[in-house]
Structures are given as C-alpha cells and as structure tokens.
Homo-oligomer: A and B are copies of this chain.
Amino acid sequence: MITKKAEYAIIILTELASHPSGTVVTSKEIARKRAIPANLVIQLLSVMKEENWTSGTRGPAGGIKLIIDPSEINMREVIEKIDGPIGITRCLFSDAPCQDKTHCSLRGVWAKAQNNMLSVLEGVSIKDLAEKAASDY
C-alpha cells in the first residue's frame, strides 16, 4: 500500500508548486493549510531536501521553496523516495523468480498489473496536480 506519508509528500510538493517560484512558504503554513501534522511536514521536507527537490532558509522570514521544475517530478518518483520501491506483492520485491512453476506464472500477472498501475502514476507530474488544483477553484 502507498503510505499516507507518500501521499502527504505529494501534497506538500503540490502546495510548493502552486506558489510563485522564488517565494518561500513555511512548513507550519503548509501543515496548517493542508491539514498535515506539522512534524510530519518537517520530516518529509528533509527527505525532499536530500533529493534536491527543495531548499530551505532558516530564521525569521525563512521557509521552503521548490528548486526543481515541478513538471520533472512524477507521482511514482515521490512515492518511491518516501516509501521505497513499490511492490503490489512480496513476489515482486525479489529479483529472481521462485522455483515453483505456478508461482512463476503468477509473477507475470503481478508484474503486468503493477506496471499498469505505475504507468498511471508516472504519467502525472507535480505540475499537473498543481494546475488541476488551481483550476478547481
């Protein structure tokens, strides 16, 4: 399952993308506006910083800003950064198919099902989400 943390991360990036580039937002502001626990926002932002997706300036009037083009990050990437590799079944986490024949017939089905899912998530960028949210208002 895709965790709430991954979902939060996507929401946070979308929020950042919806601000004029160059301007900063505080983590508290994001937490309040998107109803995400403030400490989780901070925790997730630290991962995003590691990825060089965001940068933060401290002190009064500080905050976070996006330093990557939001059309360059898709949902799959964000999920995998936060949750680790995606696998709809344990089978797909191991590289090697297992011995049992029936099991291995299954593997192909799992892989196809998962790829169908991932292709949707890969096709949606943070920019797409920010634009869609804006048009909703």
Contacts and interface: CB of A to CB of B under 8 A. Distances in A.
Interface of A: 1-2, 4, 7, 10-11, 14-15, 34-35, 75, 87-91, 100-106, 109-110, 112-114, 116-121, 124, 129, 132-133, 136-137
Given A1-B87, A35-B100, A116 B120 contact: yes
Contacts of A7: 89-91, 103, 106
B116 A129 contact: no
B120 A113 contact: yes
Given A2-B88, A2-B110, 14 more contacts: A1-B1, A11-B106, A88-B117, A101-B136, A104-B136, A105-B129, A105-B132, A106-B129, A112-B120, A113-B118, A113-B120, A113-B121, A116-B116, A116-B117
Please indicate which of the listed interface residues A11, A90, A109, A129 has the most CB atoms of chain B within 10 Å of its own CB.
A109
A4 B98 CA distance: 14
Nearest to A118: B113
5 contacts: A7-B89, A15-B102, A88-B88, A104-B136, A113-B118
Contacts of A133: 101-102, 105
